């Protein structure tokens, strides 16, 4: 079945760039997503990328997709303390239901 | 304001009891979902519904039940058959499962068995 893997924890200093990585196994993925979850809250969609794209940039966020290696990354430029949260990678397949599979989440800690 | 609302935010259940978690949306979305979140395991799909009066099991449906009598409501019942129900439960909705549209999440319900 589908599998999405992320490292559990990342710590960066305020002002530095953060890079959160994700790998997935489903070669039929059509869309890949990054969600942000603040403590005790639901998930908020940050950005998504089509599987036929290599890169997408949105203000401080840059998403890179290596479809050959099934590797997705989220770069946050000039990381701020408000960026501290859990970041989930997710992929949607091209099957009949188009199920979304989430990764384990990466907890980003920003040190002032 | 449009959105998706879960209630209650915190819920305590005694062992052996059934409990129902509420999820309501006023976004006119066709599809609704229930996920369970455990530390270090990401989100796992419990049930989903593409349309009123229809729903399908997700990856971990055992011990749970749902209904979809109205478009805006998708309650989840955690039954006594669920062996480890303590978790954070998230409800989501989207325009349709057949198109790439954003899933909107509720704020979650934290269920604790005491």
Residue A81, classed as helix, strand or coil, is helix
Which pLDDT value is given to residue A98?
Answer: 61
Share of chain A above pLDDT 90, in %: 61
Mean per-residue pLDDT of chain A: 90
pLDDT at A35 over 80: yes
Q: Is B42 within 8 Å of chain A by CB?
A: yes
Q: Is A14 within 8 Å of chain B by CB?
A: no
Which pLDDT value is given to residue B50?
Answer: 87
Cα distance from B17 to chain A (closest Cα, Å)? Answer: 25
Q: Which of B110, B109, B111, B104 is nearest to B32 (CA)?
A: B104
Least CB-CB distance to B105: which of A40, A42, A105? A42
Which pLDDT value is given to residue B39?
Answer: 80
**Mean pLDDT in residue range A54-73:** 93
Q: How far apart are CA B91 and CA B106, in angstroms?
A: 6
Backbone angles phi, psi at A41, to 5 degrees: -125, 175
Please report residues of B whose CB lies closer than 8 A to that of A30. Answer: 100
Find residues 9-38 of chain B whose CB sits inside 8 Å of chain A.
35
Backbone angles phi, psi at B27, to 5 degrees: -95, 0
pLDDT at A105 over 80: yes
Confidence of residue B74 (pLDDT cuts 50, 70, 90): very high
């Amino acid at each position: 079945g589908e599998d999405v893997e992320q490292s559990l924890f990342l710590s960066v200093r305020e002002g530095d760039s953060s890079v959160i990585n994700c790998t997935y196994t489903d070669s039929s993925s059509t869309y890949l997503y990054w969600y942000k979850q603040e403590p005790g809250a639901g998930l908020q969609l940050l950005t998504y990328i089509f599987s036929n794209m290599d890169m997408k940039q949105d203000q401080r966020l840059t998403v890179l997709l290596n479809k050959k290696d099934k590797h997705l990354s989220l770069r946050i430029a000039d990381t701020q303390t408000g960026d501290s949260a859990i970041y989930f990678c997710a992929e949607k397949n091209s099957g009949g239901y188009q199920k979304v599979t989430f990764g384990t989440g990466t907890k980003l800690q920003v040190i002032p | 304001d449009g959105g998706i609302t879960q209630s209650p935010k915190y819920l305590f259940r005694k062992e052996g009891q059934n409990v129902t978690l509420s999820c309501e949306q006023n976004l006119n979305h066709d599809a609704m979902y229930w996920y369970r979140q455990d530390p270090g395991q990401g989100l796992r799909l419990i049930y989903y519904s593409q349309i009123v009066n229809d729903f399908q099991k997700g990856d971990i449906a055992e011990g749970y039940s749902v209904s979809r009598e109205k478009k805006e409501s998708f309650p989840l019942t955690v039954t006594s058959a669920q062996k480890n129900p303590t978790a954070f439960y998230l409800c989501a909705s989207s325009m349709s499962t057949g198109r790439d549209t954003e899933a909107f999440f509720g704020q979650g319900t934290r269920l604790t068995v005491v």
